Amino acid sequence: MVGQSTALKKVLDQVGLVGPADTTALICGESGTGKELIARALHERSRRKHRPMVTVNCGSVPRELFESEFFGHVKGAFTGAIRDRAGRFQLADGGTLFLDEVGEIPLDLQSKLLRVLQDGTFERIGEERTRKVDVRVIAATNRSLKQEVEAGQFREDLFYRLSVFPIDAAPLRERLDDVGLLAVHFLEQACRRLGVPAQRLKQRHVEALQSYQWPGNIRELQNVVERAVIGAKSGPLEFDLPKDSSEQQRAFGEADKSKSRTSGILNYRELKRQERENLLSALEATHWRISGPAGAAKLLGLRPTTLASKIKALRLREE
């Protein structure tokens, strides 16, 4: 992890504190802030550093394969199970399991994850034998799991089990002191990888990079630097940034000053939570009838197919 900002130093201090403690940690932050690097740093400072760190991107696992991905299966357990397969918990035995995008785990499977976190036991799909593992779990999310708990999308007991030691990965716009150092680091990497003569970062380059708000965080900075190196094969080193980056920076500053004037405005997650509550109210008022003159779709002014899609997307169920 490259940098010297106060925000990064705080993270490094936390890593140094909890790394050897072998406790569960939850890394929170926007996409592209280096959450996996923090997880690897925790693993490298633990007694498990000579054992594997196994990573699962929970957002890329199909819903029907979550249980097999985590716990494994035996041959013939389901269609397509042509051989025995060890799950990620078994593969990480003695080491660390990194659950990236942990907020994507389906609600009805979270209880099984909670069990293995609490007592270290699980069964493969199709097998009666209970297996025991010794795994340290580090989780990461770009969501507010507290809001997910309030919205009924994440188990409260699992949230508290994962967040024994929370670590916040600061966005790059709050680490402007690190932008120049990171750019130099990525510049050297890209020049070596692309076979381009070593390039020098000038002060005007640093100032331009620091004037941008980096919605894509460190990953976006790395991409911007790589594009500049590719362009340097036929010309000077120049960074392709939005023309209005300075205006964007001023807008962010004004937004911070006017929080009191905009306190009544809902963010995206609050809007989604409000939508969910509104849909539930309509469904309960119509006894979960979707279509027809007395259905919830009519009440909400939606097509029945649209309402059915929303119910599925929000995982609404009749109690």
Q: What is the mean pLDDT of residues 269-278?
A: 75
Burial class (CB in 10 A: 0-12, 13-18, 19+), 313: exposed
| Cα–Cα distance, 172 to 134 (Å, whole number) | 35
| 209-250: pLDDT as tens digits | 999 999 999 999 999 999 999 988 888 899 988 765 444 444
In this prediction, residue 113 carries a pLDDT of: 93
Q: pLDDT tens for residues 1-53?
A: 899 999 999 999 999 999 999 899 999 999 999 999 999 999 999 999 999 99
Sequence-distant (≥ 6) Cβ neighbours of residue 182 within 8 angstroms: 2, 3, 172, 218, 221
pLDDT at residue 206, as a whole number: 92
**Structure tokens belonging to residue 182:** 């990171």
- Which of 201, 173, 171 has the alpha carbon at shortest distance from 186? 201
CA distance 280 to 295: 13
86 pLDDT band (50/70/90 cuts)? very high
Split at pLDDT 50, 70, 90, the class of 81 is: confident
Going by pLDDT thresholds of 50, 70 and 90, the confidence category of residue 267 is low
Tell me which residue has tokens 């969501």: 143
Identify the helix (H) or strand (E) that includes residue 139.
Answer: strand 136-141
44's tokens: 């490298």
pLDDT at 254 over 50: no
The pLDDT assigned to 266 comes to 62
Note the pLDDT of residue 303: 80
Place of tokens 């005007």: 204
pLDDT tier at 264, thresholds 50, 70, 90 = low
Bridge partners of 166, per DSSP, are 26
pLDDT for res 251: 43
- For domain 6-170, is the CATH number 2.160.10.10? no
In Å, what is the CA distance from 224 to each residue of 1, 52, 126, 251?
A: 18, 32, 48, 22
Q: Is 145 in a helix, a strand, or coil? A: helix
Q: Position 152: which residue type? A: G
**How many angstroms separate the Cα of 221 from the Cα of each of 172, 240, 309?**
9, 10, 37
> Looking at residue 110, what is its pLDDT?
93
Specify the pLDDT at position 260.
44
- How far CA 23 is from CA of 2, 33, 295, in Å, comes to 25, 22, 50
Mean pLDDT of 135-141: 97
DSSP per residue over 149-213, as a string?
A: HHTTSS-HHHHHHHTTEEEE---GGG-HHHHHHHHHHHHHHHHHHHTPPP----HHHHHHHHTS-
What's the average model confidence in pLDDT over 55-84?
A: 89
* Per-residue pLDDT at 265: 61
- Helix ranges (H only) for the chain are 6-18, 35-44, 66-71, 88-91, 110-119, 145-150, 156-162, 176-194, 203-210, 217-231, 245-257, 268-285, 296-300, 304-313
**% pLDDT > 90, the chain:** 60
Report the chain's mean pLDDT, rounded to a whole number: 87
How large is the average pLDDT for residues 276-281?
A: 82
Q: State how far the alpha carbon of 284 is from the alpha carbons of 226, 290, 303, 309, in Å.
A: 53, 10, 18, 17
User: 269: pLDDT confidence band, cut at 50, 70 and 90?
Assistant: low
Q: Under a CB-based contact definition with an 8 Å cutoff, are residues 26 and 139 in contact?
A: yes
CATH number of 173-246: 1.10.8.60
127: pLDDT strictly greater than 60: yes
